[in-house]
Amino acid sequence: MSNPSEILLDVNGLQKRYADGTLAVQEITLNVRAREFVSIVGPSGCGKTTLLKTICALLAPTKGSVKLHGTLITEPPPQMVLVFQDYARSLFPWLTVTGNVMFPLRKRKDMTQAEKETASQRAIEAVGLTKFAKHYPWQLSGGMQQRVAIARAVAFRPEILLLDEPFASVDALTRADLEDLTLQLRDEFGITMLLVTHDIDEAVYLSDRVFVLSTPPSTVLEEIPILLSQPRDQVATRSEPGFLQLRNHIHGLIGKKKEDNSKRFILDSPIPRSVELEGDPVS
Amino acid sequence: MPHFRWCEVPESTLPVQKKKSSVNWGGYGFFLVCVVIMEFVARAGWLTSYVPPPSQIFVALWQGLINGDISSQIGVTLSVYVRGLALATVLAITIGILMGTYKPVFDALKIIVEFLRPVPSVAMIPLAILFFGLGATMRISVITYAAFWPMLINTIYGVRAIDPQALDVARNFGITGYEALWRVTLPSAVASIATGFRISATIALIVTITTELIAGNSGIGFYISQMEQANRLPPMYAAIILTGILGYLLNTLYFTLEHKVVFWTPAARERVT
Amino acid sequence: MNKVFNRGNAAGIITVIVLLLLWQVIAMWKQTVYVPPVSTIFLTFLKEWFSPTFGQQAVPSLYRMAVGYFFASLIGIAIGIVIGSFKRIYQLLDPVLQFWRAIPATAIIPVGILLIGIGDQMKMVVICFGAMWPILINTADGARLVPTERLDTARIFGLTPIETLLRVILPSATPMIAAGMRTGLSIAFIMIVVSEMIGSTDGLGYYILQAQRTFAIPEMYGGILLLAILGYLLNTGFVWAEHKVLAWHYGQTARPV
């Protein structure tokens, strides 16, 4: 286990350009400490998924580096697991929940079969799906499927979990449950979390630190430490004055940049004046 | 009606458009390389004498087309093909709409369809010869039988899969019965029917050639078997390749037609030819 | 097979019986050799096919078809998976594949006869050639359409390319492979009949054509009837097996997620 204040993940000057020349990520520098919960917030379309995939070494960066424990990574390392936004496409429909969760363990030679089964059972329990262990993923609701994906990641015992807008495709109530689940998992298994989201409230609620991204091509606008009380509570934390302050601050950061790039409608007729989309009062 | 103008949207927020060269040079190159290799291998005599070099085949094809040996047969084949396909289309769409719309008709004919459908049309050839001899009629009957089923199934499916709301809306406007059939049911089913037509047309060509092979007295298939018996190999291979070319051209034609006819369905919009 | 005798099926069965009766009446009334009575056909059918003839004619056909189909599936799936998994290979081979696929399999039979003769091997090879294409192409499509998230997940969990191929791509592609195999089965069925009609001394295709030539008309109808039954059984059997193996796929597509 790492020293709590040691830097686990170090991303330096990361740039990613697509094959056709478009710049997805211009320059990102950030770091994550062991057992920390770090969020990356940014407007939609600013290359957040690309960023996570590059950090995970699924894509090769055009410039810059990603280091885990000080070592450069070029292939997806076993200490890192990425949980996708679209759970339906990443889970395996021909396996049961248990099958899915045990799938990544098949390669592990350091565990006996019994140990693997226990590990997967424990992971399924941790996400609260013990009753559905023999079900197929498509028999479950969206939120439950995402839990399966998370259980699968947790059973693999990574040091750091990358989450790509994992709760975006899920309804608000389920989202609250899943948010608390990730906090629980961090406490129970000691896994570091790097979450990417466009939901500012979620980022502030969950994190120890938040990195705010600009519109594409993205850079880090600001690094914000979140000094709210622990443990987090959906009602209490969100009512703290500090919460609102932080949230509005981030909102302002993203909103400011957004203004330059907003799409505008102009109604040609019959109303002979322009109406701006972003909620400005009609003159 | 007010209409909207989009103002300038900076490039970086637009979805990424990948510009790829759409011509598969590598693939065609590989194809040519294979042909060249075959040429050398055949000329060197490493291959059995039953497989002539591609150049000879190509020459035979060219000559056959010019001097009419092959081109006349193309006309015969296509004539029989079109007639068989047309008859199958008319029958299949009519019966299909009836079966799809009226449950009693469906129930009555369902078992017959289930039983006759898996019978390969070629098994009907002896039967057809019995009744019609060896001429064009025999072939047309077999083609019709073969092409009938895919279109029937697709028509039934298309008619039955109609959004019930569409019919409700029509009824609201006072459109019922025969008119509803013509103006609501049929357009919705057209997508499925078009796909069925394409499948049937493909099958129809294969069955045409096959019938000519087995028991024809004219047509490309007959030409192939004639050349085989006369041991004239380059024209035989030429004709075989010609059937492939014919099938490919017709298939492209049908795909284009299908797209034009059913451009509004999501499936057609997504599809890349 | 539940509810076989519900109202809907009753109408169908009645229709069939009515048609058969009609046939019988017309046959007896017209007395032409072309349309023997249903009773004659039925009796001939029983006489012919519950006798050694079945072993002499039907079994060789089924055997050849089985072997040809087996190899068609093996080759089609093996090549298809590789082609579908590596985009460059697919692009490279695409025109060649399209070329071979466009040629009607039955047109290859004369070539087969020249090269291999008219024995069992020719039929098996020709069946394999014909049935292979839909299987190969559907497998390749199935492999190409594996969601990238699944492939990424495999990489994240450290699977080697071979493991990814066998444990992720192949299972993901099985629905499409099954569709291809089903088409391949009907093609195999057609190919065996045609190849036996063109170049054979036994088999169902030969039997039916020969019956027609020698004016053994009830036998001809009987043979066609047998083919119909076999075709139906093969098709139903395949669908049943497919639903068993792909229970997860049908469960998934039945539920809107």
Lowest-pLDDT choice from A149-158, B39-48, B146-155:
B39-48
From chain B, pick out residues whose CB is under 8 angstroms from the CB of C91.
24, 26-27
Query: Is the pLDDT score of B271 beyond 70?
Result: no
Amino acid at C54: F
Instruction: Give CA–CA dist A18/C101, Å, rounded.
Output: 36
Token digits for C160? 């080697």
Q: Which amino acid is at C147?
A: P
Contact assessment for residue A45 and residue B13, using Cβ atoms and an 8 Å cutoff: yes
| C27 Cβ neighbours under 8 A, 6+ residues apart | C35, C36, C37, C38, C40
- Residues of B within 8 A of A261 (CB-CB) are 9-10, 13
The reported pLDDT for the residue numbered B232 is 87
Query: How far lies C34's CA from each of A19, B129, C19, C212, in Å?
Result: 70, 11, 17, 10
Angle between helices C170-198 and B186-215 (to 10 degrees): 40
| Residue B93, token pair as written in the block | 């769409």
Is the separation of the CB atoms in A38 and A55 below 8 Å?
Answer: no
Task: For chain B, say whether C91 makes contact (Cβ under 8 Å).
Answer: yes
**Residue B7 pLDDT > 50:** no
CB distance C220–B127 less than 8 Å? yes
Topology of the domain covering A7-79+158-260: Rossmann fold (3.40.50)
Chains that touch C (3 or more CB pairs under 8 A): A, B
Contact C157 A82 (CB under 8 A): no
User: How confident is the model at residue C254, as a pLDDT?
Assistant: 67
CA-nearest residue of chain B to A260?
Answer: B10
Contact A97, A120 (CB under 8 A): no
Q: Enumerate the residues of chain B whose CB falls inside 8 A of the CB of residue C16.
A: 111-112
Task: Give the distance from residue B86's alpha carbon to the nearest chain C alpha carbon, in angstroms.
Answer: 21
Distant-in-sequence, close-in-space partners of A120: CB < 8 Å, separation ≥ 6: A98, A101, A102, A105, A151, A155
Question: C245 and chain A: CB distance < 8 Å anywhere?
Answer: no
Please state, in angstroms and rounded to a whole number, the distance separating the CA atoms of residues C145 and B268.
18
Nearest CA in chain B to C195: B214
More confident residue, B148 or A223: B148
Sign of CA dihedral C85, C91, C93, C97: positive
How many CB atoms sit inside 10 A of residue B174's CB? 8
Are A112 and A193 within 8 A, CB to CB?
Answer: no
Q: Show residues of chain B in contact with C189, CB under 8 Å.
A: 118, 120
Instruction: Point out which residues pair with A213 in neighbouring strands.
Output: A220
- Search chain C and give the residue with CA nearest A93: C248
Report whether C44 contacts C222 (CB < 8 A): yes
Spell out the SS3 assignment of C109-169: HHHHHHHHCCCHHHHHHHHHHHHHHHHHHHHHHHHHCCCHHHHHHHHHCCCCHHHHHHHHH
**Cβ-based contacts of B19 with chain A (< 8 Å):** 20
Alpha carbon distances (Å) from A107 to A96, A100, A254, C170: 18, 14, 43, 18
Tokens representing B14 are: 């637009």
Q: How many CB atoms lie within 10 A of CB C16?
A: 15
CB pairs under 8 A between A and B: 39
Burial A130-160 (b: 16+ CB within 10 A, else e): eebbeebbbbbeebbbbbbbbbbbbbbbbbb
Chain B residues with CB inside 8 Å of C7's CB? Answer: 107
Is A217 within 8 Å of B12 (Cβ atoms)? yes
Strands A71-72 and A63-68: antiparallel
Tell me the two tokens of residue A255. 């909103």
Q: Do C150 and A89 touch (CB under 8 A)?
A: yes
C153–B contact, CB cutoff 8 A: no
Nearest CA to B70 out of B249, B240, B247, B251 is that of: B240
Nearest to C252 among A53, A138, A156 (CB): A138
A partners (3+ CB pairs within 8 A) are B, C
Read off the pLDDT of residues A137-178 as tens digits, 9 standing for 90 and up: 989 988 899 999 999 999 998 999 999 998 888 888 888 889
The SS3 call for residue A77 is coil
> How confident is the model over A257-272, as pLDDT tens digits?
444 444 444 344 444 3
Assess contact for A56 and A110: CB atoms under 8 A: no
Decide if A216 touches B, using CB distance below 8 A. yes
In whole angstroms, what is the distance from residue C24 CA to residue C158 CA?
70
Continuous H helices in C199-246: 204-213, 217-245
Q: Which of B2, B13, B17 sits opposite A269 (nearest CB)?
A: B2
Is there a contact between B119 and C228 if contact means CB atoms under 8 Å apart?
Answer: yes
Strands (E), chain A: 7-17, 23-33, 37-41, 63-68, 71-72, 80-83, 160-164, 192-197, 209-213, 218-225, 265-267
**Measuring CA to CA, which residue among A210, A201, A194, A195 is closest to residue A176?**
A201
Cβ contacts of B129 on chain C, cutoff 8 Å? 212
What distance separates the 2 farthest-apart alpha carbons in chain C? 77
On chain B, the residues whose CB falls within 8 A of the CB of C184 are none
Per this entry, what is the length of chain C? 257
Q: What is d(CA C206, CA C216) in angstroms, rounded to the nearest whole number? A: 13
Give the pLDDT score at C10: 78
Q: How confident is the model at residue B97 (pLDDT cuts 50, 70, 90)?
A: confident
Residue C134 dihedral angles phi and psi, to the nearest 5° = -60, -35
The whole-angstrom separation of Cα B76 and Cα B80 is 6
What integer pLDDT is reported at residue B11 of this predicted model?
38
Q: How many residues are listed for chain A in this entry? A: 283
* Tokens encoding C158: 């450290």
Contacts C251 to A, Cβ<8 Å: 136, 138-139
pLDDT of res. A174: 86
Quick count: other Cβ atoms within 10 Å of Cβ A19? 8
Give the gap in angstroms from C-alpha B131 to the nearest C-alpha of chain C: 7
Distance from the C212 Cα atom to the nearest Cα atom in chain B, whole angstroms: 6
ipTM of the complex: 0.82
What does R_g of chain B's alpha carbons equal in angstroms?
A: 25
CA distance B222 to B236: 10
State chain B's mean pLDDT as an integer: 82
Contact C256/A at CB under 8 A: no
Name the DSSP letter for residue B183. Answer: I
Three-state DSSP class for A193? Answer: strand
> A88 and C257 in contact by Cβ < 8 A?
yes
Rounded (5°) CA angle B85-B86-B87? 95
Answer for the pair B189, B159: CB distance below 8 angstroms, yes or no: yes
Q: Cβ of C5 under 8 Å from any chain B Cβ? A: no
Amino acid making up residue A189: F
> Could you say which residues from 100 to 119 on chain A have a Cβ atom under 8 Å away from some Cβ of chain C?
103-104, 107
Distance in angstroms (rounded) separating the CA atoms of residues A92 and A99 = 9
Supply the pLDDT for residue A261.
Answer: 42
**CB contact residues (below 8 A), chain C span 153-172, against chain A:** 153, 155-159, 163, 167-168, 171-172
Of residues C210, C208, C219, C212, the one with CA closest to residue B131: C212
* Structural domains of chain B, ranges and CATH numbers in brackets: 58-270 (1.10.3720.10)
The residue length of chain B stands at 273
Chain centroid, CA B74 distance in Å: 16
* Per-residue pLDDT of chain C in tens (257 residues, 90 and over written 9): 455 556 667 777 888 888 888 888 888 888 777 888 888 888 888 888 888 878 788 888 999 999 999 999 999 999 999 999 888 899 899 889 888 888 999 999 999 888 888 888 999 999 999 999 999 999 999 999 999 999 999 999 989 988 999 999 999 999 999 999 999 999 999 999 999 998 888 889 999 999 888 988 888 998 998 998 898 899 899 999 999 999 888 887 765 44
Which residues of chain C make contact with A84, given a CB cutoff of 8 A? 149, 152-153
Q: Give the residue from A259, A266, A269, A278 with the most B CB atoms within 10 Å of its CB, the best one to mutate.
A: A266
% residues pLDDT > 90 (chain B): 29
Rg, C-alpha atoms of chain A: 20
Q: Which of A26-35, A104-113, B255-264 has the highest mean pLDDT?
A: A26-35
Q: Is C147 on the interface with A (CB under 8 A)?
A: yes
Residue predicted with more confidence, A7 or B87:
B87
Does C248 lie at the interface with B, CB-CB under 8 angstroms? no
SS3 B21: coil
Number of neighbouring beta carbons within 10 Å of residue C71: 17
What pLDDT score does C7 carry?
Answer: 64
What's the rounded Cα separation, in Å, for the pair A46 and A216? Answer: 5
| Cα gap C35→A112, rounded to integer Å | 72
pLDDT at B177 over 90: no
- The answer to whether C150 contacts A92, with C-beta atoms less than 8 Å apart, is yes
Candidates C157, C162, C166, C169: best to mutate against A (most CBs of A within 10 A) is: C157
More confident residue, C9 or A213: A213
Q: Is residue A267 less than 8 Å (CB to CB) from chain B?
A: yes
Say whether residue A270 is in contact with chain B using an 8 A CB cutoff: yes
The first and second tokens of residue A79, run together, are 């200490």
DSSP B185: I
Interface with chain C: mutation pick from A89, A95, A163, highest number of C CBs within 10 Å = A89
What Å distances lie between residue B148 and A247, A279, B143, B249, C196, CA to CA? 66, 60, 8, 22, 24
Question: Which residue of chain C is at minimal alpha-carbon distance from B250?
Answer: C102
Q: What number of C-beta contacts closer than 8 Å exist between B and C?
A: 160
Nearest-CB residue to C198 (from B213, B241, B243): B213
Contacts of A122-126 with CB under 8 Å at 24 or more apart are: A122/A155, A123/A151, A123/A152, A123/A154, A123/A155, A124/A97, A124/A98, A124/A151, A126/A151, A126/A154, A126/A184, A126/A185, A126/A188, A126/A189
Nearest chain B residue to A46 by CA distance is B13
Residue C170: CB atoms within 10 A of its CB come to 18
Distance in Å, alpha carbon of A278 to nearest chain B alpha carbon: 14
Looking at beta carbons, which residues of chain C come within 8 Å of A136?
248, 251-252
pLDDT of the residue at A98 = 93
